[in-house]
Structure 1
Amino acid sequence: MDFLGLAKRRYSVRKYQGKKVEEEKLMRILEAGRVAPTGANTQPQRILVIKEKEGLEKLSKSANVYGAPVAIITCVDHSAVWKRPFDKKKISDIDVTIVTDHMMLEATAQGLGTVWICYFDPQVIKKEFNLPESFEPVNILAVGYAEGEAASPDRHDKARKPLEDIVFYESF
């Protein structure tokens, strides 16, 4: 499948089967995160995989992962982030988001469903999972086998704005 087909096949899954994610599929997902580009190749991502019952219960104090058997908490290590020299902008969220996106798309390629979660209490995650002081949880990716029918790849024709509304050439 080509990339655009893969991107259109991916959708937010909010109900999962009880089936476990195979270790080889999880490792491919994590490898996709490892090879993701980061600013100045600083690689500030720190990835916390939650797949045991106890960990998922702790995570439920902060976030709803919709019954997914695996949750990947993508954190940034602020001590390793590149800053743009002109305005000192830290690109931590950008780096970690690229990593999360790579993992999400690899999960889709592996026949798994995902939902990207940003609605969580970061302080609870820091406490429950003993995150070091310089670590900040940025995204959670719930991963598993989707329950029910997949969303249609054609949904983007109606759910997304047309290119002419979002793309400009040479000037606004």
Structure 2
Amino acid sequence: MEFYEVIRGRFSCKKFDGRPVEKPQLDAILEAGRLAPTAKNLQEQHIYVVQSEKGLVKIDKMTPCRYGAVTVLVVAFDKNNVFTYPGEKRDSGVEDATIVAAHMMLAAKAEGVDSCWINFFDPDMVAKEFGLPENEEVLMMLDLGYAAEGAEPLASHSQRKEISETVTCI
């Protein structure tokens, strides 16, 4: 699939048909995350692949946003392995994990797999439920699967502001 087809065609799928994501597609998606750029190449991301019934039940307890996906990626980052920017008000953890997640989301579409970015959950609860290391912070979860019949983007999906409203040359 051509790159601009990928970014135009991807939408937040909110109804999956329950088919599993095949290993070659999942591997390609995870590889896209591995190849994503990170500040100072620290690669502080850690991706947890949740496919077991037990794991999916845990996710369902923490968010209503699994939408029937049978693969969920939990994206976390090592808080102790981040680059702190000048001014010491920000570090690279959230942005690097976001770049990794975005790469995986777009790779999913390129592989014919639908996705939905989930941020409606308590990150500390996810970390506790899955026994994640204390040095890791959960950023988001990514539903992966195949859209069920009738699943479509939200009505407002294709509505975009004019570029002049979001870009200023200075």
Q: Same fold (TM over 0.5)?
A: yes
In structure 2, the residue matched to 1:52 is: 52
Partner AA of 1:20 in structure 2: P
Q: Paired residues, what number?
A: 167
Shift of 1:92: 0.9
SS at match of 1:49: strand
Counterparts in 2 of 1:20-169, with a 5 A limit?
20-63=20-63, 64-149=65-150, 150-151=152-153, 156=158, 159-169=159-169
2 CA distance for matches of 1:101 and 1:89?
20
Alpha-carbon distance between aligned partners in 1 of 2:141 and 2:54, rounded to the nearest angstrom: 17
* Contact 1:61–1:124, Cα closer than 8 Å, also in 2: no
CA contact (8 A) 1:48 1:72 kept: yes
Shift of 1:87: 3.2
TM-score for both structures, normalised by structure 1: 0.91
Root mean square deviation, CA, Å: 1.7
1:151–1:59 Cα change, 3 Å: closer
Give unmatched runs, 5+ long, in structure 1.
none
Which stretch shows the higher mean deviation, 36-45 or 82-91? 82-91
Shift of 1:61: 1.5
What displacement does 1:144 show? 0.1
Summarize the Cα distance change of 1:95–1:24 in structure 2 as closer, same or farther, 3 Å threshold.
same
Rounded Cα–Cα distance in structure 2 between residues aligned with 1:101 and 1:148: 25
TM-score of the aligned structures, taking structure 2 as reference length: 0.92
The aligned amino acid for 1:120 is: F
Q: Please give the per-residue CA displacement for 1:28-64, whole angstroms capped at 9, x wherever unaligned.
A: 0000000000000000101000011111001112122
Determine the structure 2 residue equivalent to 1:17.
17
**Quick check: 1:13–1:114 contact (8 Å CA) kept in 2?**
yes
1: CA distance, partners of 2:168 / 2:109? 30
Percent identity over paired residues: 39
- Please state how far the C-alpha of 1:85 moved relative to its aligned partner: 2.9
